[in-house]
Structure formats: C-alpha cells, structure tokens
Amino acid sequence: ADGTVEIPVVLNVIYNTSPQNISDARIAEQIAILNTDYGATNSDINKIPSEFKPAAAGDVKIRFKLVATNRKQSSKTGWKIDLDEMKKSSTGGIDTTNPTKNMNVWIVNSILDENGVPGILGYATSPESVGLWYDGLVIGCQYFGKTGASAPFNLGRTVTHEVGHYLNLPHIWGPSDAGCLTDYSNDTPDSPGPNYGTPTYPLYKTCGGVSRSQMFMNYMDYVDDKMMFMFSANQKTRMQAVVAAAGPRAGLR
C-alpha cells in the first residue's frame, strides 16, 4: 500500500568444507541486514555527515524475503568470476530458480579473478541480465552475514552493495574504473575512484579540476563495512524504477 516491494530471495550455498556451509541463522542475519539497510533503520545511519543528510535516501521501500535455500557440497576450492560455473549444475553449481521472479544469490567458498587469484568479495548482474541463467549475486562466504564473517567485511554490507548493482546502481565513480564518470545520481558527488578502509570525513577529491567532498559512506563505494551506511535519494529513485510495474525487474513484485 505504501509502495514497498518485497523481493523474494533464493539462496544457493555451494561449500567445500562444512564451516563454509553457511547456517540458516547466518542467512537470516544477512536478510535482516538487507532489510535494515534498505529501510534506513540501520543503527549507524546517524553517522551521515550533516552535509549529506539532505541527500540521504531514507527508506528505499524495498525489502527482502527468503523463499528457498539450496545447498550443495563441491570439491572446488575457488570459482572464477568470468565463468559463472556456480550457476549451472552441469558445471558443478546450482541452477537458478526462476530468475525473473526471484533474486538468486550464490554463496561460494572463494571468488577468483580472471587470473585465478582470490580476493573478490562479491559481484552482481545489472537489470540488463534480467531472467538470464546467470542473473543474480555471487558472494564469498566469509563476507556473508555477521556471525563468523571476516572483519572488516563482517556487517553484511557486501550483499547490500551487490544488491545495489542488481538494482541498477553503478559505483559512485561511475560505470568504469576510469572514474570521474556519472553514476546517474546527481546527489552523489563526482568521484575519481574507490575509497578503501576507514577514511576520515571530510575527504576531498578532484574531478575535472573541481574538488568535492566525497560521499565515501555510500554503500556503492569500497570502504570497510562499518564505514558505509547510506544510499542517496537519487539512488533510491533508480532502484525504485527497476522494480516498478513497468521496470525491468517488475517480475520480482
């Protein structure tokens, strides 16, 4: 009635060792984090600097509901980002469940880059991939949920960030690593590239000869989990457009 859309979530857990078989309790923890972050009821929301308060999204009016959990043991110790083998049973993974209707999430023990090097926290498809077999999120199990997760990425915000991509948000520096490109949200200041760790506010960086205070506390930057706690109002508008009745992901409604 208030326009809130609840997205059904299917979790596909592929583990090698049993500690990597993320518990139902930890899955519930991650879903709860998504709901507080997307509802702007996260306990750290009061840390938004006054400069950025007018740009804060508030309640994004998107929520998440777990509808199924699938589990599979695998001898694989790592999964390459460019292959998406975790998304098909024929390549040792778990097949997607109706990706038009559900947000599919694959949890794997380790995500490797194109060269086979570990260290990627997660990745996601944009709405351009709606309904395809590989549509959804992939998350390294160490960065999923809270209890037992790896600091400084143990507040569930890797999933908050990847869901942002799934709902059409680029990084705040724009769609390519070149940086200083538009992210199609005028209320996130132009940024030359990622911030890491625990930056101190205010942090000024320059694009096109103009120095701007960086919104590094945005979920679509790369800072540590405890340093990110907001979406902007324009980011909310973009995400709402994706799940709107005429939007590319209307099937999730």
Residues that bind Ca ion (CB under 5 A): 183, 185, 188
Does 158 bind ligand ARG (CB under 6 A)? Our answer is: yes
**b/e string for 46-59 if b means 16 or more Cβ within 10 A?**
eebeeebeebbbee
> Dihedral of the CA atoms 113, 117, 121, 127 (nearest 10)?
10
Select from ligand ARG, Ca ion, none the partner in contact with residue 188, using the beta carbon and a kind-dependent cut-off of 5 to 8 Å.
Ca ion
**Among 236, 220, 229, 232, CA closest to 43:** 229
Q: Minimum distance between the CB of residue 190 and Ca ion, rounded to whole angstroms?
A: 6
Report, in angstroms and rounded to the nearest whole number, the Rg of the chain calculated over CA atoms: 18
Query: Active site residue: 51, 85, 128, 162, which one?
Result: 162
* Residue 162 designated active-site: yes
Nearer to ligand ARG by Cβ, of 123 and 134: the residue is: 123
Q: Does 122 bind ligand ARG (CB under 6 A)?
A: yes
Q: By CB under 6 A, what part of segment 15-54 binds ligand ARG? A: none
| 68 three-state secondary structure | strand
Q: Based on the shown chain and the rule CB under 6 A, indicate whether residue 123 belongs to the binding site for ligand ARG.
A: yes
Residues 9, 31 contacting (CB under 8 angstroms): yes
Nearest-approach distance from CB 123 to ligand ARG, in angstroms = 6
Widest Cα–Cα separation across the chain: 52
Q: From the list Ca ion, ligand ARG, none, pick the one residue 183 interacts with, judged by a Cβ distance below 5 to 8 Å according to partner type.
A: Ca ion
At residue 233, the 3 state secondary structure works out as helix
Is residue 63 packed enough to be buried (19+ CB in 10 Å), middle (13-18) or exposed (0-12)? middle
Interface with ligand ARG, residue 157, by CB under 6 A = yes
Q: Which stretch binds ligand ARG (CB under 6 A): 1-9, 42-50, 127-135, 217-225?
A: 217-225
Does 153 sit near ligand ARG (CB under 6 A)? yes
Applying CB under 6 A, among 27, 108, 121, 167 the residue interacting with ligand ARG is 121
Question: Under a CB-based contact definition with an 8 Å cutoff, are residues 144 and 105 in contact?
Answer: no
Q: Which is nearer to Ca ion, 135 or 190 (CB)?
A: 190
Other beta carbons less than 10 A from residue 33's beta carbon: 21
* Closest to Ca ion by CB, 183 or 225: 183
Contacts (Cβ under 8 Å, ≥6 apart) of 152: 197, 198, 224, 225, 226
CB of 174 to Ca ion, least distance (A): 8
Q: Quick one: what does residue 185 bind among ligand ARG, Ca ion, none, with the CB cut-off 5 to 8 Å set by partner type? A: Ca ion
- Burial grade of 67 (CB within 10 A; 0-12, 13-18, 19 or more): middle
Task: Tell me how far, at minimum, the Cβ of 124 lies from ligand ARG, in Å.
Answer: 8
Minimum distance of ligand ARG from residue 208's CB (angstroms): 26
Chain positions contacting ligand ARG, by CB under 6 A? 120-123, 153, 157-158, 161, 222-225, 228
Report the catalytic residues.
162
